[in-house]
Amino acid sequence: MWRSAAVILISAVLSSILVACGGGDSAPPPQAPPAGPSQAAPPKCPPLPGSMAAAPAQADQVTAAGLAVGSAPVDPRTGETNVRTRANYLTGTLNRAAPTGTQIWIITNPQGGDFYVQDGVPVQPDAGGGFRALFNVGLRDDQPQARPNTVRVVQVTDSVAAYLASCHASSTINPRLPAELPWHVAGSLLVHKIAP
């Protein structure tokens, strides 16, 4: 009698272990993770025109210094800063006004990814060269990114600027460029979007 009671007890224990570990016929099927908010892919810029002017001549090139995102510290070793939101403001100072025939724009590029037009308007520095320009990282505030984005301050000729304007970027829509364009990188900053 003790022997049959022990066998029944051991069978019950083994059965519950099998079910808990996912074995046996009574284990529930795996559940799909809950669907999050839909993420529409960013729009694309129009096809590139047949020809496009080269980057601004070296004598016309400007540089951007003191790049920062709000009060977030910049790591002096990596040149990287962290943000927690999608929309941010890049600040900095141009060493001089962009010469006639050139404009300053903000372009982002996730490491190993495409290039995205930011804000839809050229940067308008003040009389001392200081500027504040809106840029976005990712599609949503609650979406951290595994790799940093390079936020570039680029100087382009008016013909390239006309193409960037034709992408119809805005403060919330950042179209994807079909390729890297002929531009001069006046300055850049690595921006890593971390969990809020």
Considering its fold, how many domains does the chain have in total? 1
Q: Which residues contact 120 (CB under 8 A, 6 or more apart)?
A: 165, 167, 168, 169, 170, 171, 173
CB atoms within 10 A of CB 140: 11
Residue 52, domain member (yes or no): no
Rounded to an integer, the average pLDDT of 41-69 is 92
Q: What is the pTM of this model?
A: 0.78
Structural domain containing residue 115: 58-193
Q: How far from 132 is each of 12, 25, 53, 128, CA to CA, in Å?
A: 69, 62, 27, 12
- The tens digit of pLDDT for each residue in 112-163 reads 899 999 999 999 999 999 999 999 998 888 889 988 999 999 999 999 999 9
Residue 65, domain member (yes or no): yes
Residue 7, domain member (yes or no): no
pLDDT exceeds cutoff 80 at 7: no
Distance between CA atoms of 12 and 5, rounded to whole angstroms?
11
Residue 28, domain member (yes or no): no
Domain CATH for 104: 2.60.40.10
Residue 63, domain member (yes or no): yes
Residue 14, domain member (yes or no): no
Q: What integer pLDDT is reported at residue 28 of this predicted model?
A: 41
Residue 18, domain member (yes or no): no
Residue 176, domain member (yes or no): yes
- The tens digit of pLDDT for each residue in 154-167 reads 999 999 999 999 99
